[in-house]
Structure 1
Amino acid sequence: MSNEKKPLANEEETAADIEETPTGKQSDENAEKTTVSLKEESEGAENSQEDEINEEGKDEVSMLKDELEAEQNKYLRLLADYDNFKRRTQKDREISAKFRSQSLLTDLLPVLDNFERALAVEAKSEDAVSIMKGVEMVQKSLLEAVKREGLEEIKAVGEPFDPNFHQAVMQEKDEDAEPGTVLQELQKGYTLKGRVLRPAMVKVNE
């Protein structure tokens, strides 16, 4: 007689099936795949974020370069304007120094005319002759002073008429002179270092 229980065939098969079922392996594989996928997604997100940061950095650098170039151009324009201003100022100072006495000499021209008229009067007495000599000495001193400042008489009689230096107020026909030649000086003209202060008033041959 035997009372021992024998395991059922289906129970043994079930146990064997459980042992051989790859459920545990599949779970591990799925977990590993999920981890890899999450890691790849994380790396992709990081790379995307880095790309965005790099693009933003490039845009910012480009913008700063443009601003720097604009500021440099502005500086160069200001520097050029300043150089031009210095040159103009220097030139104005030189001109002012060169013609510093122009206003005074212009005011003295009528005085020189009066000396010319005074000396043109004929002295008939000894006293008048003495006075004329004194006037002539004063005129000579004055002419020397104004010449040192650069005042010069404009040549007129016998010269070809030049509208830059002569003012024609009369015309006359003279067969002995060339047409357009100055025949007579009615009022002296003067220049200051090449600049005309007053043109000579003249009579011109037709």
Structure 2
Amino acid sequence: MFSKKKKHDNKDTTMQNQDPAAETHAEDQLINDIKDANTVTTEEQEVAEEIVPELTAEEKLQQENAALNDKYLRLFAEFDNYKRRTQKERVELLQTAGKDVIISLLPLLDDFDRANKAMENATDINAIREGVDLVHTKLKNTLAQKGLKEMESMNTPFNTDHHEAITKIPAPNEEMKGKVMDELEKGYTLNDKVIRFAKVVVGS
């Protein structure tokens, strides 16, 4: 009984008296062994380089050429798609350019239809005249909202940028020489750009 207890006490004493420096040395040795296992030697690196040799200058140029060619093909395809898309949009724009104006004129077309029906049995010429004047004014206002303007040509100096001279007649006085004396057809601008020259008679 006493001997067993004594042996157990001796074992505990031995564990308590173990050197801490020895434990630290053992841990350092274990870490170094792990690092050595993961370290690639110079010989192993040379073998790996022999297995995957470096590309020659010609091979590098071929790779660069292939990359540039691929980039060029991609850019060309993108540009071709852009060109086709813009051409399609341009065609659609030309086909629907006057859609807004046509829609704004439809109410005036309705007014003319009603006026035609009213004139079938109308006896008062003044009422018809007033109706026509109202529709005419409405038409001019609608077109003005779209940027259409009449040119003021009468008694203004003849201007080739706005006028087309049909003929010349003697001016009644010196002041009217070179000026518009009569207007045969009105000129119009759309958003300040001439879309029809005024046909005029010029004094000489």
Give me the TM-score of the superposition, normalised by structure 2: 0.48
Give me the TM-score of the superposition, normalised by structure 1: 0.48
Bigger Cα Rg: 1
